[in-house]
Amino acid sequence: MTALGLAGAVVQPVLIVAGAPVLVGVMRQVRARLEGRAGPGIRQPWRDLRKLFGKERIAPRGTSEVFRVAPLVLVATTLVITVVAPFVTVASVLNPVADLFVVVALLAVGAVALALAGLDTGTAFGGMGASREVTILALVEPTLLVAILALSARVGSTNLGDVVSSMVREPSRVISPVSLLAAVALVIATVAENGRIPVDNPSTHLELTMVHEAMVLEYAGPDLALVELASAMRLSVFLGLLANLFVPWGIATTATPAALLAGVLALVLKVGVLGAALAAAEVFLAKLRLFRVPELLAGSFLLSLLAVAASYFLA
């Protein structure tokens, strides 16, 4: 447990909890401007959250503890990742948890908690959302793990800190074919896991096309606020990991205030650019039919396999 790790454990959760809704606001604003609308401003998600937290708590008839605990688990798993994974600092307060496989599994735990909550309501929409969500989850898993294999095989470790610091030490790796192929595969996996276009539409109002939104249809008030906050945090976590795995520059390697500040600014900048690019791309894409999504995921899986092949044959 180093000073750098401790600093990261304090700065990262605060930054991501505070910044994640802003990131969503930025993405919506970019979309709005590109579509010729004025947009509500980047602070609108925070205003929404404040309003939701002030509302009454609701217990839909027939739901159990699973429904009540799921938002807490969802936020908690993401919070643990923000504490241990390298976003602002390379060192981790809890190195044995900052493992790529652990992070992927923790994100899956959150999704499973929400899927069980969707089933717990006993409505058709809840079941539909849960069924679709876990199907996509199952299909994304091979891409994620094989891409991890490609990234970690040459480092000799799946520890996030090790992978990122090896990238910092050897910048030439950033433009290697392995990195590029794995990056594209992981971008597609990120889009699928976060329910963005073309896999799912986060702003849809048509129940039949919903995936994530159908699952959380019964949530209201503070519970909905938690779910919304967690979704924003998960998006930030994915984009932050993506940024630091492939473009780690700026991340703090020493525990000085200047390095930490640089790390914070670098993360904000990288995640902001990635988010804006994602939002801009979404303007030009349509949502895929649910049963075309596996083809997209199969494509990303192929890319990650190619990345592994490249890491072996080009080494």
Q: Is 89 helix (H, G, I), strand (E, B) or coil?
A: strand
* Least Cβ distance, residue 40 to another protein (angstroms): 23
Closest CA to 135 of 107, 104, 112: 112
* Least Cβ distance, residue 149 to another protein (angstroms): 5
- The nearer residue to another protein, 145 or 280, going by C-beta atoms, is 145
DSSP structure string for 91-130? S-TTGGG-BHHHHHHHHHHHHHHHHHHHHHTT-HHHHHHH
* Least Cβ distance, residue 283 to another protein (angstroms): 28
* Least Cβ distance, residue 126 to another protein (angstroms): 8
- The nearer residue to another protein, 52 or 266, going by C-beta atoms, is 52
Give 180's contacts (C-beta < 8 A, 6+ positions apart).
Answer: none
Let me know: does 37 contact 289? Beta carbons within 8 Å.
Answer: no
Let me know: does 219 contact 71? Beta carbons within 8 Å.
Answer: yes
- The nearer residue to another protein, 148 or 271, going by C-beta atoms, is 148
- Please give the Cα distance from 178 to 184 (Å, whole number): 10
What is the per-residue burial (b if ≥16 Cβ within 10 Å, else e) of 186-221? Answer: bbbbbbbbbbbbbbbbbebeeeeebbbbbbbbbbbe
- The nearer residue to another protein, 147 or 252, going by C-beta atoms, is 147
* Least Cβ distance, residue 41 to another protein (angstroms): 23
Phi, psi of 159 (to 5 degrees): -70, 130
* Least Cβ distance, residue 54 to another protein (angstroms): 6
